[in-house]
Amino acid sequence: MSALAWSEALALKQPRMDQTHREFVDLLHGLGAAHAAGVADFDTLLQGLQQHTEAHFAQEERWMADIGFAPQNCHALQHAQVLKVLVEVRRALAEGGDREIVAVLVDELGQWFVGHAQAMDAALAEIMVERGYDPETGRLLHPVAVDAQPITGCGGSSCS
């Protein structure tokens, strides 16, 4: 199991987003460390990760709505899939599932996060800057045109 650790390579120069991402990485790292140490009960750690991730994704989805993303977009759909996985892992463990599922979760979620942050979250951060969006206040200096098409993809140049 390779543990994901925060590094400046993951920073997107969007302080609030970077702080939330750092917290996510720390929680995931803590879950991996607990598994490596032989902890038997992961539910408290998984619950903390799940609660943080729900708030983390809701925050990003509020920002996306504020800057012109469609309600159904590929970025938010990825969020929904990750939340389903977290629920399923907790359920499996509660039903006596193999604790190795935690190692798989830590590895896979870590790999997913790096790609997601560097592509979709980076695109979101870029659009936030382009539109003069302040995530603290929700103010938008360059509002979206009334007739503009909502963003349905990740917001990056490779997907609309």
CATH number, domain with residue 105: 1.20.120.50
pLDDT over 50 at 148, yes or no: yes
117 in any annotated domain: yes
In the prediction, which pLDDT does 146 show? Answer: 64
155 in any annotated domain: no
100 in any annotated domain: yes
pLDDT in tens, 62-120: 999 999 888 889 999 999 999 999 999 999 999 998 999 999 999 999 999 999 999 99
pLDDT band of residue 152 (cuts 50, 70, 90) is low
Are the CB atoms for 3 and 106 separated by under 8 Å? yes
Of 82, 93, 3, the C-alpha closest to 43 is 93
Report the amino acid identity of residue 51: Q
pLDDT over 60 at 133, yes or no: yes
